[in-house]
Structure 1
């Protein structure tokens, strides 16, 4: 691709400003060329505020415009498949907000459409591209800490229904596991391996969605794990923690999701603790940079293809073990 990567936004979201628009301004050969929203007045205001030159009357018009190479879809979970599939059928690459699909069947259909049309289907696990996660992964792989005995992840992000209606709406694919819960599932799979849920304890909301989940899992290598996630409103702060206990050490991380807002990264080899802090760009900057380079070179990304299906399968396995 000799011209800049042209990105269209499906959904005039606040998240797109942080995850796509701001990083694109810092990365060469990337342009945000068009936006579409549920209401055209919203898209017009959004385009003016964010210096986007074109507005589509609706999502379909953007997809069929010929003016974009990749679409970023930031819509309620149940709409991902419909608009992701249409974009792929029109030979566009697709970056889908996580989770890319609300279930295994939808993931398989989306991946089939991507394969048929020779387009990229990428799930927006932006944290994976930050140097912090690269360092954690390298510590696990280099062997100095031994093998993993246990995995523990806790992610608590209070989301009042009055401000996050879709997340609490069962018909729109709401619930904590189909929201922030997909993060620790992804961490577990990429740091330890595929797992089988043993038990899932769920706190259901009045709307019928899972508001808080604690899942106990077992990995193929014999390690055990706990995934503890909640979006239930309370007066506390957001909390994000990852712990790996290993045969010759340990790794502890705070704020793996958004380390550019501050993080702690500590690891122990034997009895000696070490610490490192990473400066630089946001997780979204590194993600968009990696996507641009992969589309240009044809290289594979760690958050596309079968990874999307495996994460959907793991989330569904946890949900299918629910008791509450």
Structure 2
């Protein structure tokens, strides 16, 4: 393996172009791209000056000049293509959601561990400088013990604009595409829930238009989420503790700003006062930070990131499965 990791992009859709632009800002080397049809690979390679172009995914994963594969195809293919890359001895960064369900996520986790390669879900939010600052506040104890977390990720995505999200055969619906952000955020703050209660509004195609869920944790803490593709919500988040609160601005899952409040306990009822305002300023969308973490881990000899471990990814997918079980959303083949 070369000193600088050489990335191969499996898929060249919209998210790939956003990520490629951010990768280049950070000097991350995109060595190859593979798509179903060579025209897609050529267009992407021309745009980002990528030397190796492949028609078909097997050619990409077997490229000896590629060390790690970034997978950004439609959700039902994530696990299958991750397994293909792992079998070829490649490290993988798999676009969120990591798989369609927990069963598939476990298959990828187990295959990566057996092969001894690095694997991680591309939950890029976790690696943003703003999120790093938020968790410094939480872990410092400044807001006390966390007791309640809220998050919304609701966007207006009609079928005419985002037809993929309306198709169960493509892993559509609000929960899997948008709701993964609140669920993953809750997991980072509070761990795995002991109980989930969920309700959903189902589209005539069988996917969820809107899902709301309440999470209960063993220590008595709670969390509440909403996700929808038929309305624009606030797309914000809040972490409330016994000594204060963090309010995270729109869009909470992107590079954004936040405010920290402390509770003045000198008054019987308590009064909160603002003690910090964090204004985020970064280059690009912020997708590069996850890749920098991947490269840090691989150069350190790690096969998983402590910030986004494979066991946590599986646990998150188990929570997603439980929500879908309660709301009656199933995908073909399940």
TM-score range, shorter chain: over 0.9
Deviation at 1:316, TM superposition (A): 1.0
Match of residue 190 from structure 2: 192
User: How far apart, CA to CA, are the structure 2 residues paired with 1:178 and 1:303?
Assistant: 18
Q: Is the 8 A contact 1:266 1:276 kept in 2?
A: yes
Report how many aligned residue pairs link the two structures: 316
User: How far apart, CA to CA, are the structure 2 residues paired with 1:292 and 1:137?
Assistant: 22
User: How far apart, CA to CA, are the structure 2 residues paired with 1:170 and 1:18?
Assistant: 25
SS class of match (2:314): helix
Stretches of 4+ moved more than 3 A in 1? none
User: How far apart, CA to CA, are the structure 2 residues paired with 1:159 and 1:314?
Assistant: 24
SS class of match (2:323): helix
Could you tell me the TM-score, scaled by structure 2's length? 0.90
User: How far apart, CA to CA, are the structure 2 residues paired with 1:117 and 1:198?
Assistant: 34
RMSD (CA atoms): 1.7
Q: Is the 8 A contact 2:143 2:240 kept in 1?
A: no
Match of residue 277 from structure 1: 279
Match of residue 291 from structure 1: 294
Could you tell me the TM-score, scaled by structure 1's length? 0.92
Tell me which of 240, 245, 261 is aligned to 1:268. 261
Match of residue 258 from structure 1: 254
Match of residue 132 from structure 2: 134
User: How far apart, CA to CA, are the structure 2 residues paired with 1:192 and 1:304?
Assistant: 15
Instruction: Rate the CA distance shift 1:197–1:157 in 2: closer, same or farther, 3 A.
Output: farther
SS class of match (1:239): coil
User: How far apart, CA to CA, are the structure 1 residues paired with 2:273 and 2:176?
Assistant: 38
Unaligned runs of 5+ in 2: 264-271, 330-334
Match of residue 304 from structure 1: 309
User: How far apart, CA to CA, are the structure 2 residues paired with 1:215 and 1:230?
Assistant: 12
User: How far apart, CA to CA, are the structure 2 residues paired with 1:201 and 1:26?
Assistant: 41
Match of residue 242 from structure 1: 237
Unaligned runs of 5+ in 1: none
